[in-house]
Amino acid sequence: MKQYIPFIRKDPVVPVIRLQGVIASGPRGGLSDQGLATVIEKAFRRGKPAGVALVINSPGGSPVQSSLIAARIRRLASEKGVRVHAFVEDVAASGGYWLACAGDEIWVDESSLVGSIGVIFSSFGFHEFMARNGIERRVHTAGRSKSLADPFLPEKPEDVERLRALQEPIHRAFIEHVKRNRGARLDLNADLFNADVWTGQEAVRLGLADGVAHLVPKLQEIYGDKVRLLPYGQRRPLLQRLGMSLAGQALAEVENRALWARYGL
Instruction: Provide the mean pLDDT of the chain.
Output: 82
State the pLDDT at residue 164: 72
Question: CA-CA distance, 122 to 258, in Å (whole number)?
Answer: 11
Question: CA-CA distance, 97 to 163, in Å (whole number)?
Answer: 23
State the pLDDT at residue 247: 46
Q: Specify the length of the chain in residues.
A: 265
Q: Residue 108: enclosing H or E segment and its boundaries?
A: strand 105-108
Q: How far is CA 159 from CA 16, 45, 121, 150, in A?
A: 44, 47, 12, 9
Structure confidence by residue, pLDDT tens digits, 196-211? 999 999 999 999 999 9
Give 246's Cβ-side CA count (13 Å radius). Answer: 7
Residue 10 confidence class, pLDDT cut points 50, 70, 90: confident
Q: Which residue has the higher pLDDT, 68 or 234?
A: 68
Would the pLDDT of 130 be above 90?
no
Q: Which residue has the higher pLDDT, 26 or 254?
A: 26
In the three-class reduction of DSSP (H, G, I as helix; E, B as strand; rest coil), residue 67 is classed as helix
State the pLDDT at residue 165: 74
* 3-class secondary structure per residue, the chain: CHHHCCCCCCCCEEEEEEEECCECCHHHCCECHHHHHHHHHHHHHCCCCCEEEEEEEECCECHHHHHHHHHHHHHHHHHHCCEEEEEEEEEEECHHHHHHCCCCEEEECCCCEEECCCCCCCCCCCHHHHHHCCCCCCCCCCCCCCCCCCCCCCCCHHHHHHHHHHHHHHHHHHHHHHHHHHHHHCCCCCCCCCCCEEEHHHHHHCCCCCEECCHHHHHHHHHCCCCEEEEEECCCCHHHHCCCCCHHHHHHHHHHHHHHHCCCC
Structure confidence by residue, pLDDT tens digits, 154-185? 666 776 677 677 778 889 999 999 999 999 99
**Pairing mode, strands 197-199 and 113-115:** antiparallel
